[in-house]
Chain A
Amino acid sequence: MNAFETAAPADGLTRRRGLLVPALILLLVFAALPTLLAGFDRGYFYQIANLALIFVLLSASMHLVTGVAGLLHLGHAAFYGVGAYTAALLTSKLGLGFTVTLPLSGLVAALVAFLVALPTMRLVSIYFAVATLAIGQMLYLVMLNWVDFTKGPNGIIVSKGFELFGFSLSGRLAAYYTVATVVTLSVIAIGRLSHSYYGNALRSIREDDQCADAMGVSTVRLKMEAFTLSAFFAGVAGGLWAHMTGYISPGDFKFSESILILAMVVVGGLGSLPGAVIGALLLILLPEGLRGLGDFRNIMVGLVMFLSILLLPKGLLGEVSALRLVRQQLGAAWRTAGPANGKGEGIGWR
Chain B
Amino acid sequence: MTHLLEIRNVSRRFGGVQAVGDVTAHVNEGELVGLIGPNGAGKTTLFNLISGFTPLSGGTVAFAGRTISGMTPNQVARLGISRTFQNLRVFPNMSVFDNVSVGAVGALPQGAFGALFGSLHRRGRDRSAEISHRTWEALEAVGLTHVAAELAANLPYGQRKYLEIARALAMRPRFLILDEPAAGLNDTETRDLAAFIKRLHGQGLTIMLVEHDMTLVMGICQRILVLASGRKIADGTPDAIRNDAAVLEAYLGVDE
Contact = CB atoms under 8 A, between A and B. Distances in A.
A207 B106 contact: no
B206 interface: no
A15 B128 contact: no
B132 interface: yes
A192 B72 contact: no
A225 B114 CA distance: 13
Contacts of A199: 115
A196 B115 contact: yes
A18 interface: no
B64 to A, nearest CB: 16
Interface residues of B, number: 57
Nearest to B83: A214
A339 B115 contact: no
A192 to B, nearest CB: 5
Contacts of A198: 105, 110-112, 114-115
B110 A197 contact: yes
Contacts of B167: 215
Contact of A207 (B94, B97, B131): B94
B250 to A, nearest CB: 24
Contact of B128 (A11, A189, A212, A320): A11
B102 A217 contact: yes
Contacts of A165: none
Interface stretch (B133-141, B155-163, B216-224, B232-240): B133-141
Interface string A177-219: 0000000000001001100111111011011101111111111
Interface stretch (B3-11, B23-31, B49-57, B181-189): B49-57
Given A14-B148, A193-B115, A200 B101 contact: yes
A218 B102 CA distance: 12
Contacts of A208: 89, 91
A213 B72 contact: yes
Contacts of A217: 74, 102, 105-106
Contacts of B98: 13-14, 200, 203
Contact of B136 (A8, A193, A200): A8
A271 B92 CA distance: 13
Given A196-B118, A215-B103, A204 B91 contact: yes
A189 B116 contact: yes
Mostly helix, strand, loop or mixed at chain A's interface?
A: helix
A207 B145 CA distance: 22
Contacts of A189: 116
A214 B101 contact: no
Contacts of A343: 54-55
A252 interface: no
A201 B145 contact: no
B245 interface: no
Contacts of B132: 8, 11-13
A4 interface: yes
B93 A4 contact: no
Given A14-B97, A200-B102, A216 B74 contact: yes
A58 to B, nearest CB: 19
Contact of A192 (B89, B102, B115, B140): B115
B12 A342 contact: yes
Q: 8 nearest interchain CB pairs? A: A12-B132, A216-B106, A207-B91, A198-B115, A196-B115, A216-B77, A215-B106, A197-B105
Interface of A: 4-5, 7-8, 11-15, 189, 192-193, 196-201, 203-204, 206-208, 210-219, 225, 229, 271, 319-320, 339, 342-344
